[in-house]
């Protein structure tokens, strides 16, 4: 770079020569490392292996199950403690899957980590943030994010956006001597700053630590499940007390009473629901990791599944970030002192951090004329132009024709015509002086010299990705800083609805409500400023939309942060990657449908299996009270019909194995809010029907036990037949619509259940006796009635749904 020189728009001490600051020496770095003055930032928010083990072993329900197992073992009936295997199985599966997911995330996090450019011994190296030491000299350029606090040493038009820290969106000019807060990002210009605070004392690290103490990433799925589990925990106490009281009142030995109580309590606990939620998320992370997709926040998979509007930046998302100079069209009479090719070569040579447009120009004109710059106005996404004062060679500006030229100008009209074919067009102009860098500053008199025509290639996978979203009823809005006509041309090439009527964002209202109305039925927007991208996202959210924002540049940061889900490209700016919940490390827009499908699979399938688990909870709680209340009110105590081993085998065939398989199945329906309400509307009626049918069967059979014509084992078996038959039917309903493997799954579970009652060995082990045929037929008849009632309740729910019914999948 040809420096030193004055920087337009920066006040303060004279800028030092950016090339004259060598940074720390190797010896100085070693001294600081020895003194512990390193950037010991906390690791990304993932649990350690030890924390994963503790989190999966020491859970509320593992503790409940362990206590209940100890109670049963103390009675000497070890087979009735089979449910304790669930503690080991749940813990092992949860640990294995979460550790696999952690390793995937950690590997991808290292790959996607931003590496600041640090000067040491006069050389520039890209270092991981944790290797920075106190006093290091760090380079800043457009899109970079400050990783430590510091003080500006030298600057050329340096502008910092601290909105992620302070909420203030306007860029702040940063002159030498100004402070830099970690977390701020560069919107324009270049500079050097010295690290003055590192590690956990840095501003952003302290903010993050405070936030971590008081807030958690929102997940409707986990929040809903936790709400349900809290209610269940409190129900266990009265149900257990009533059960043990009823058993002892009936004159049963304490050992039998305890087994009856455990048999009542065990099925109330949806022990596998949390496990399957963890597994489903972990498997999603692993699957997406294979596609080089980094999930910075686990619930991001869930939220993206709820998205109904995707706001996509054009450059780097729909089009490839690389461009090629297609044409240099002179628009003024030739002047030897105004050779546009030479001026462009000088502009490109003086740009230390060129964007895609400037890289294309530099590739076309690689030979620098050696002009000396005396003042610079770096390009800014908000201004949409930049320029350099080359002293005797004059002031040159390069930027958007429709920003630099007034409406009706012939050159501007020519640029519009070129842009209509999808080309990016920049104006090269001479000016009397450099414009002021302040927002909204008036332009000095300028004279157009040439139009720089850049060809941008549409990503080959963009069309199929947009088609996917169209099929899924997800609207795609293109919001770009480029000329609206050019953006519309690209959108038309991709057959995006609304592409024939692109909107120039400069005509949009500033009021949020008015803006939301104006963009309600529009999909293509050009000349969108960074602040307007954020406003468009907020406007859509104000109308109840769940919005995803995809982008790769510093101009997308505000919108990425405010969207329900921010998706950044791996090759994008460090600031964009830092605020996004999802980073596509392979830079493929086509990866996004896979992320959406993973989220839908997780939510839809957890919703399916939650119905199974909570149906079991409902019928278990209700059955415990139905059996216990007669004894409580003096109508005669009833022994609880089931042993713990009975509820264990019921869970095996109606919930355990089927729920695990269903939780990993494909599922592509868009999720919507209201998880708890939908699940409860499906599980409560089913659970009530099962409990009532089972209790009626037991009530009708039990007098025969008292009379001595039927054994208690036969009575329990009859009630169990009623219960397991209806529960298997609920499984069959949850598995709809059927694919071959779902039908096979249901058939196998039914066959396994039948075998449990039919085989002599299993009859003996699980204390089953279906040989009293009148009672068995009574049980099957009541089960048939229950099945009809369950089908009717689900038909009513489907006819008058409150939100979406159960997710469907293949």
pLDDT, tens only, 51-61 = 778 877 877 77
Q: At what angle do helices 60-75 and 220-249 cross, to 10 degrees?
A: 20
Instruction: Provide the CATH number for the domain formed by 26-36+114-214 in this structure.
Output: 2.70.150.10
Report DSSP letters for 324-381, one per residue. EEEEEEE-S---GGG-HHHHHHHHHHT-SS--HHHHHHHHH------PPPSEEEEEET
Q: Are strands 503-504 and 524-526 parallel, antiparallel or unpaired?
A: parallel
For residue 87 the two structure tokens come to: 């503690």
Q: At what angle do helices 592-632 and 220-249 cross, to 10 degrees?
A: 20
For residue 585 the two structure tokens come to: 């490390």
313 noted as active-site residue: yes
**pLDDT score, position 670:** 66
**pLDDT score, position 477:** 92
pLDDT tens-place string over residues 588-602: 888 888 888 888 887
Mean pLDDT (the chain, rounded)? 81
pLDDT tens-place string over residues 633-664: 656 667 778 777 787 788 788 887 888 788 77
Q: At what angle do helices 271-289 and 60-75 cross, to 10 degrees?
A: 130
How many whole angstroms separate alpha carbon 61 and alpha carbon 74? 20
Report DSSP letters for 131-154, one per residue. G-BTT-EEEE-TT-B--SEEEEEE
pLDDT tens-place string over residues 742-799: 899 999 999 999 999 999 998 888 888 898 889 999 999 999 999 999 999 888 877 7
Look at residue 82 and tell me whether its pLDDT is greater than 90.
no
Q: Across residues 71-97, what is the average pLDDT?
A: 73
Percent of the chain with pLDDT strictly greater than 70: 85
| Distance from chain centroid for Cα 740 | 32
How many whole angstroms separate alpha carbon 684 and alpha carbon 705? 31
Helix or strand (DSSP H, E) at 799: helix 773-799
Identify whether the C-beta of residue 782 lies closer than 8 Å to the C-beta of residue 696: yes
Q: Which is catalytic among the residues 144, 161, 256, 313?
A: 313
How is residue 391 annotated by DSSP? G
pLDDT tens-place string over residues 150-174: 999 988 888 888 766 665 656 788 8
Identify whether the C-beta of residue 316 lies closer than 8 Å to the C-beta of residue 552: yes
Which residue, among 220, 219, 235, has the nearest Cα to 270 in the 3D structure?
235
Q: Which residues, 6 or more positions from 238, have their beta carbon under 8 angstroms from its beta carbon? A: none
For residue 564 the two structure tokens come to: 């329900």
Q: Are strands 137-140 and 172-173 parallel, antiparallel or unpaired?
A: unpaired
**pLDDT score, position 427:** 94
The phi and psi torsions of 509 (rounded to 5 degrees) equal: -70, 160
How many whole angstroms separate alpha carbon 361 and alpha carbon 342? 11
pLDDT tens-place string over residues 299-339: 777 787 788 899 988 877 788 777 889 899 998 766 666 78
- pLDDT classification of 388: cutoffs 50, 70, 90: very high
Between CA 199 and CA 202, with CA 201 as vertex, the angle to 5 degrees is: 75
Identify whether the C-beta of residue 244 lies closer than 8 Å to the C-beta of residue 261: yes
- Greater confidence (264 vs 495) lies with 495
How many whole angstroms separate alpha carbon 415 and alpha carbon 411? 6
How many whole angstroms separate alpha carbon 606 and alpha carbon 95? 19
Burial code of 299-330, b = ≥16 C-beta within 10 A, e = fewer?
bbbbbbbbbbbbbbbbbbbbbbbebebbebbb
**pLDDT score, position 524:** 92
**pLDDT score, position 439:** 63
CA atoms within 13 A on the CB side of 680: 12
Q: Are strands 309-312 and 475-479 parallel, antiparallel or unpaired?
A: parallel
Q: Across residues 341-354, what is the average pLDDT?
A: 89
pLDDT tens-place string over residues 27-42: 999 998 998 888 876 5
- Return the number of other C-beta atoms located less than 10 Å from residue 632's C-beta: 13
How many whole angstroms separate alpha carbon 209 and alpha carbon 765? 55
Which residue, among 537, 488, 531, 546, has the nearest Cα to 516 in the 3D structure?
537
Identify whether the C-beta of residue 243 lies closer than 8 Å to the C-beta of residue 79: no
- Greater confidence (739 vs 77) lies with 739
Indicate the fold that domain 220-282+596-799 takes in CATH: Calcium-transporting ATPase, transmembrane domain (1.20.1110)
**pLDDT score, position 784:** 95
For residue 633 the two structure tokens come to: 């009110």
How is residue 192 annotated by DSSP? E
Residue 792 CA: distances (Å) to CA of 689, 733, 743, 787: 11, 12, 22, 9
**pLDDT score, position 640:** 73
Identify whether the C-beta of residue 737 lies closer than 8 Å to the C-beta of residue 667: no
pLDDT tens-place string over residues 479-535: 988 888 888 888 888 888 888 889 998 899 988 888 989 998 899 998 888 888 989
**pLDDT score, position 214:** 32
Domain 331-439 in CATH 3.40.30.10? The answer is no
How many whole angstroms separate alpha carbon 774 and alpha carbon 782? 12
- Greater confidence (11 vs 590) lies with 590
Identify whether the C-beta of residue 611 lies closer than 8 Å to the C-beta of residue 686: yes
Which residue, among 485, 478, 360, has the nearest Cα to 421 in the 3D structure?
485
How many whole angstroms separate alpha carbon 712 and alpha carbon 708? 9
Ranges of each domain in the chain: 26-36+114-214, 220-282+596-799, 293-318+459-585, 331-439
Q: Which residues, 6 or more positions from 241, have their beta carbon under 8 angstroms from its beta carbon? A: none
The phi and psi torsions of 161 (rounded to 5 degrees) equal: -105, 120
Look at residue 207 and tell me whether its pLDDT is greater than 60.
no
- pLDDT classification of 218: cutoffs 50, 70, 90: low
Considering only 130-144, 238-252, 673-687, 777-791, which range has the smallest mean pLDDT?
A: 238-252
- pLDDT classification of 7: cutoffs 50, 70, 90: very low
pLDDT tens-place string over residues 370-386: 898 888 888 887 788 88
Report DSSP letters for 451-495, one per residue. EEEEEEEEPTTHHHHHHHHHHTT-EEEEE-SS-HHHHHHHHHHTT
For residue 62 the two structure tokens come to: 């593992």
Look at residue 469 and tell me whether its pLDDT is greater than 70.
yes
Q: Which residues, 6 or more positions from 179, have their beta carbon under 8 angstroms from its beta carbon? A: 149, 150, 151, 152
Could you tell me where the beta strands, DSSP code E, fall in 222-359? 293-295, 309-312, 319-330
Percent of the chain with pLDDT strictly greater than 90: 19
Which residue, among 311, 323, 595, 293, has the nearest Cα to 458 in the 3D structure?
323
- Greater confidence (436 vs 393) lies with 393
**pLDDT score, position 590:** 85
- Return the number of other C-beta atoms located less than 10 Å from residue 256's C-beta: 18
- Return the number of other C-beta atoms located less than 10 Å from residue 449's C-beta: 26
Helix or strand (DSSP H, E) at 596: helix 592-632
**pLDDT score, position 212:** 37
Q: Which residue in this structure is represented by tokens 């004392």?
A: 201
Between CA 306 and CA 181, with CA 567 as vertex, the angle to 5 degrees is: 125
Look at residue 569 and tell me whether its pLDDT is greater than 90.
no
* Chosen CATH of 293-318+459-585 out of 3.50.50.60, 3.40.50.720, 3.40.1350.10, 3.40.50.1000: 3.40.50.1000
Which residue, among 637, 631, 641, 592, has the nearest Cα to 779 in the 3D structure?
641
């Amino acid at each position: 770079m040809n420096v030193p020189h004055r920087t337009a728009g920066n006040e303060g001490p004279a800028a030092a020569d950016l090339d004259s600051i060598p940074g720390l020496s190797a010896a100085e770095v070693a001294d600081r490392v020895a003194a512990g003055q390193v950037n010991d930032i906390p690791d990304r928010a993932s649990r350690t292996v030890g924390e994963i083990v503790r989190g999966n072993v020491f859970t509320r329900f593992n503790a409940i199950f362990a206590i209940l197992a100890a109670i049963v073992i103390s009675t000497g009936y070890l087979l009735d403690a089979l449910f304790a295997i669930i503690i080991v199985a749940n813990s092992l599966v949860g640990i294995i899957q979460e550790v696999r997911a952690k390793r995937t995330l950690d590997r991808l996090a290292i790959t996607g980590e931003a590496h600041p450019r640090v000067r040491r011994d006069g050389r520039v190296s890209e270092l991981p943030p944790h290797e920075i030491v106190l006093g290091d000299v760090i380079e800043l350029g457009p899109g970079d994010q400050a990783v430590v606090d510091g003080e500006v040493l030298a600057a050329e038009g340096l502008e910092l956006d601290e909105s992620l820290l302070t909420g203030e969106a306007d860029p702040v000019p940063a002159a030498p001597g100004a402070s830099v807060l970690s977390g701020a990002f560069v919107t324009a210009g270049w500079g050097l700053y010295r690290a003055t605070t590192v590690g956990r004392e840095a501003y952003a690290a302290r903010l993050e630590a405070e936030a971590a103490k008081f807030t958690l990433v929102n997940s409707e799925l986990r929040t809903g499940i936790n709400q349900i589990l809290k209610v269940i925990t409190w129900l266990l106490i009265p149900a257990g007390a009533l059960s043990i009281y009823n058993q002892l009142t009936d004159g049963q030995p304490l050992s039998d009473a305890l087994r009856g109580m455990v048999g009542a309590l065990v099925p109330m606990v949806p022990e596998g629901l949390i496990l399957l939620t963890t597994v489903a998320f972990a498997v999603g992370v692993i699957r997406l990791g294979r596609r080089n997709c980094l999930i910075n926040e686990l619930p991001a998979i869930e939220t993206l599944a709820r998205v109904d509007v995707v706001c996509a930046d054009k450059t780097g998302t729909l089009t490839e970030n690389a461009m090629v100079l297609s044409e240099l069209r002179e628009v003024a009479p030739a002047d030897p002192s105004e050779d546009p090719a030479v001026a462009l070569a000088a502009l490109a040579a003086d740009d230390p951090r060129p964007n895609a447009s400037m890289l294309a120009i530099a590739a076309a004109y690689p030979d620098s004329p050696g002009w000396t710059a005396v003042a610079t106005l770096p390009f800014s996404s908000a201004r949409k132009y930049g320029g350099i004062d080359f002293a005797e060679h004059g002031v040159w500006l390069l930027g958007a024709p429709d920003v630099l030229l007034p409406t009706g100008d012939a050159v501007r009209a020519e640029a519009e015509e070129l842009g209509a074919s999808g080309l990016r067009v920049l104006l090269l102009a001479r000016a009397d002086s450099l414009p002021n860098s302040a927002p909204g500053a008036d332009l000095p008199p300028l004279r157009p010299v040439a139009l720089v025509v850049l060809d941008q290639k549409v990503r080959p996978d963009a069309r199929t990705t947009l088609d996917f979203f169209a099929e899924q009823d997800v609207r795609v809005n293109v919001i770009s800083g480029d000329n609206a006509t050019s953006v519309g041309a690209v959108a038309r090439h991709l057959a995006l609805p609304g592409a024939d009527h692109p909107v120039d964002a400069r005509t949009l209202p500033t009021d949020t409500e008015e803006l939301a109305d104006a963009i309600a039925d529009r999909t293509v927007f050009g000349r969108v400023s960074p602040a307007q991208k954020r406003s468009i996202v907020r406007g859509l959210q104000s109308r109840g939309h769940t919005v995803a924002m995809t982008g790769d540049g510093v101009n997308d940061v505000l919108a990425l942060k405010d969207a329900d889900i921010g998706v950044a490209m791996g090759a994008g700016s460090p600031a964009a990657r830092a605020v996004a919940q999802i980073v596509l490390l392979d830079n493929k827009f086509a990866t996004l449908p896979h992320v959406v499908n993973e989220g839908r699979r997780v939510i839809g399938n957890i919703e399916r299996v939650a119905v199974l688990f909570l149906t079991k909870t409902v019928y278990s709680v209700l059955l415990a009270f139905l059996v216990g209340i007669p004894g409580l009110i003096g109508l005669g105590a009833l022994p609880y019909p089931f042993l713990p081993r009975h509820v264990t085998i019921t869970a095996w065939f109606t919930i355990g194995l089927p729920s695990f398989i269903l939780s990993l199945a494909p599922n592509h329906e868009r999720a919507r809010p209201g998880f708890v309400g939908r699940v409860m509307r499906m599980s409560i009626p089913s659970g009530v029907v099962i409990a009532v049918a089972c209790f009626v069967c037991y009530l009708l059979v039990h007098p025969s036990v008292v009379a001595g014509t039927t054994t208690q084992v036969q009575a329990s078996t009859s009630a169990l037949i009623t219960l397991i038959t209806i529960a298997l039917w609920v499984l069959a309903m949850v598995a709809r619509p059927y694919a071959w493997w779902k039908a096979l799954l249901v058939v196998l579970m039914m066959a396994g259940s039948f075998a449990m009652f039919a085989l002599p060995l299993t009859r003996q082990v699980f204390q089953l006796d279906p040989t009293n045929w009148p009672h068995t037929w009574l049980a099957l008849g009541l089960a048939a009635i229950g099945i009809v009632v369950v089908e009717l309740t689900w038909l009513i729910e489907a006819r008058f749904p409150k939100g979406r019914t159960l997710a469907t999948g293949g």
